Amino acid sequence: MKRIVFSLALYMTLFGCGSGSENTTSESTTNPKETTPNVSDNQETKKPLTTISFDKMLHHFGKIAPDKDYIAKFTITNTGENPLYISDVNPICGCIVSDWNKEAIAPGKSDIIQLTYHPGPKLSGPQHKTATVFFNTKEEFAVLDLKAEVIKK
């Protein structure tokens, strides 16, 4: 146990603290003209931040049969002053298919993120699946939850 704690402390000291101070040192000694393109490239690719709200973060299907499609709809609202861009929706597994509008959502407007859950024929019992939604807010992402109890006949 002592070896694990010591190894973690050593790792944090060498890599956790060291990388931050090395970055500061290397940036201060480099030519400003060399670092400016990287900064401007990042600024051009980043979209202005906004704020959002969801009508719910969890959808519980209840008791469901295997090998059928079940659809959950989540309403996302742009509560900020800039357009909302959903860059991706990543389900945790292949049993979930995501669908959403790829266009910007204007301030004050809402749209739907649809998750279609298809439990396989061999699946049974309580299930908890997630999909991560990425967008241009301070938090950068949110996790939507799906729950169900798959009952075999």
CB atoms within 10 A of CB 47: 14
Same domain, 23 and 56: no
Same domain, 16 and 41: yes
Question: Does position 11 have pLDDT exceeding 70, yes or no?
Answer: no
Same domain, 77 and 129: yes
Give the pLDDT of residue 45.
57
Give the pLDDT of residue 30.
33
Tell me, yes or no, if the pTM score tops 0.75: no
Spatial separation of the C-alpha atoms in residues 70 and 68, rounded to whole Å? 7
Question: Does position 9 have pLDDT exceeding 80, yes or no?
Answer: no
Q: Residue 131: name the closest of 145, 117, 120 by CA.
A: 145
Same domain, 21 and 92: no
Same domain, 66 and 138: yes
What number is the average pLDDT over the span 49-59?
98
Same domain, 35 and 95: no
Same domain, 88 and 106: yes
The total number of structural domains that make up the chain: 2
Spatial separation of the C-alpha atoms in residues 81 and 63, rounded to whole Å? 41
Same domain, 81 and 128: yes
CA 106, 42, 91 angle in degrees (round to 5)? Answer: 60
Question: Which residues fall within 8 angstroms of residue 130, CB to CB, at 6 or more apart?
Answer: 91, 92, 143, 144, 145, 146
pLDDT bucket at 46, cuts 50 / 70 / 90 = confident
Q: Give me 51's structure tokens.
A: 């704020």
Helix, strand, coil shares of the chain, percent, nearest 5, are 25, 40, 30
Same domain, 90 and 116: yes
Same domain, 20 and 80: no
Mean per-residue pLDDT of the chain:
79
Dump pLDDT digits (tens) for 99-145.
Answer: 999 999 999 999 999 999 999 999 999 999 999 999 999 999 999 99
What is the chain's Cα-based Rg?
Answer: 22
Same domain, 62 and 40: no
Higher pLDDT, 80 or 18: 80
Higher pLDDT, 143 or 22: 143
Same domain, 82 and 132: yes
**Residue 101's CATH number:** 2.60.40.10
Q: By residue range, what is the domain housing residue 132?
A: 52-150
Q: Give DSSP secondary structure letters for 19-51.
A: HHHHHHHHHHHS-HHHHHHHHHHHHHHSPPPB-
Give the pLDDT of residue 153.
73
